[in-house]
Chains A and B, each alone.
Chain A
């Protein structure tokens, strides 16, 4: 390298060599996969499987790519930058599935009537003004990230369960969870539904009041799903099965430690530390351990998938005109990998 002369031709050669190299590794036997992740506790199994070597045991060399939102991750998989992703089921995912770009291959986070799930919150101001039950959300404002997001769907379940028209609720799209937290704490939106880890903290900090549980309205709600590109689902069966096995192993550890409470204390501490390396790194250890212990929702054992919940979410989005009426469950799901119900 000492007598490397930076000419235009040398630069071109370097670029060509670089592309040749990356092209070669892509075809090699070593299974390098890129996995999309969000810095949320619901992605704990990914971190557990990675740190405990479950992916390596299956011969997978996993690299994580972090995303800000689930919508961006879905596009990442469709565009071929990611091999697998775990994200909330959204209109974006369905539209991409319709274009033949992605397939749901498993289920992850889900409501379980026996476990604390999504909590329905009211801002302090709204609570004092009489919004003490989900039924009183009619005529109020409700925080969502975007139309067609999981928050929008949850609102629709509440509206249907309480028998009010969703059009009576002013939906406030605020793009990011952080923005909704700010708006709810300062009373600029009246209601919200959110995962327990965040919801409980808001209630304890006195920033909002809990007014209900989503599981009363959507008991089998499949919140997030594992998905991949259609090409990978159809053409890389062995690799995909290995990936799901490794991730399921992480799920089993997670459920035992945080949801069912069947793991011993040392195990819980170890897993908490693993997750804390990736999630809420600015929160102190004790606080984080408490959030994990009290606010973890169930992730389906073996990544099984509730297709009935998926169907109802699809129906709702089609009724709302958010996605095309031509989309079918078959376009969205490849049911050959995990147990479905």
Chain B
């Protein structure tokens, strides 16, 4: 076990000290803060720069925070991002429109269905088929997005609490998240990155007898989510760490383009599901949860109660589901959705293979053309938005009339909201920086794309 060396010749590979033109720089990549405090205390300087991350357990992935401290007070915070940049937006330009889904689903990896939905809504807008999406497909989309909202909020709450030193909520949150991942596996064949929502509808229908199972899971979640809630809501220690911390009011949010729970914690009930509905959200009965405290505790409460609202929406979606198609009728667009879920995941349906290989050459040609070349999307541009667990997720999609996207840009809420870190943290204590970042809930896969 490496110990924190208090001499200048620091040998700890995970936490080092070096002299720069800006002064002495401390790199913190986990370990005991007390050791760092002791070391900093030994120096005679008032102002220290602490480099926190990018490999730090409480920075939500590979976020790098550059903190300037005066004693324990943070005077300046800068974020370093880009450590998870994977060039998804560039790669999409080399694949056809349907394959784009498999890329975007990997952006914000805690909210894959939202990425898929935003992209598909934009592509459908370009194709002019928004009105032709079958109702069943929209309902399945809504249902999956709401399950996804719960699973994403659970990670935000679980890891957020963990970062502030509360271990038990994480155990409960991940127990519940497991139930939801099982739902994804049952419906799409994969626990994440499912590429299930496709331009025109969804990849395949729900498996038989899934509705009773889903109802059972919703019932179980309704009981179990109370555990996380009971542990934290009104908990004195939790409130001491969160109430009044990372204050950001409405003008601040608007100016910084912050959306989602952080915006709603200022009391403004701005939720795209209500204000600019998509996928038929106007037909569901649910409430927009707000808080008026503008702090970490308010954002935490919003996430807790939004999960309940999501369960309400899922129940209504299950009631609305009627048998019918899950892909647009236009066979020139509908990817041959004859996929089937078997023991080893999602794959081609054997019946369909039998038909295209054995009896219908035209089906084979059609299948081949659509799968290899893809469909064409009329030239133009569209911007589609969905309310992701973190705020407004926008897909700016441009087509030049070809079979591949000309340009796809994702306006990811994590990317935008993370800018608010400085506004929330400067002037506060160093311990509150962790709370502030947790309350923004950035997902670096979405930030860096």
Are A and B genuine complex partners? no
Query: Residues on B close to A: CB < 8 A?
Result: none
